[in-house]
Amino acid sequence: MDSALSDPHNGSAESGGPANGTTRPPSTPEGIALAYGSLLLMALLPIFFGALRSVRCARGKNASDMPETITSRDAARFPIIASCTLLGLYLFFKIFSQEYINLLLSMYFFVLGILALSHTISPFMNKFFPASFPNRQFQLLFTQGSGENKEEIVNYEFDTKDLVCLGLSSIVGVWYLLRKHWIANNLFGLAFSLNGVELLHLNNVSTGCILLGGLFIYDVFWVFGTNVMVTVAKSFEAPIKLVFPQDLLEKGLEADNFAMLGLGDIVIPGIFIALLLRFDISLKKNTHTYFYTSFAAYIFGLGLTIFIMHIFKHAQPALLYLVPACIGFPVLVALAKGEVTEMFSYESSAEILPHTPRLTHFPTVSGSPASLADSMQQKLAGSRRRRQQNPSAL
Residues tagged active-site: 219, 265
Q: DSSP string of 60-112? A: -SSGGGSPEEEPHHHHHHHHHHHHHHHHHHHHHHHHS-HHHHHHHHHHHHHHH
Determine the longest span between alpha carbons in the chain, in angstroms.
Answer: 88
Alpha carbon 287 to its chain centroid, in Å, reads 24
The residue count of the chain comes to 394
Strands (E) across the chain are located at 68-70, 137-144, 151-159, 200-202, 241-245, 258-262
254 within 8 A of 232, measured Cβ to Cβ: no
153 within 8 A of 143, measured Cβ to Cβ: yes
- Pick the closest to residue 2 from 326, 304, 315, 256 (CA basis): 315
Q: 3-state SS string over 290-329?
A: HHHHHHHHHHHHHHHHHHHHHHHCCCECCHHHHHHHHHHH
User: Using CA atoms, how far apart are residues 153 and 139, in angstroms rounded to an integer?
Assistant: 13
User: Using CA atoms, how far apart are residues 262 and 219, in angstroms rounded to an integer?
Assistant: 11
233 within 8 A of 4, measured Cβ to Cβ: yes
- Determine phi and psi for 345, rounding to 5 degrees: -95, -5
End-to-end CA distance of the chain: 55
116 within 8 A of 191, measured Cβ to Cβ: yes
185 within 8 A of 197, measured Cβ to Cβ: no
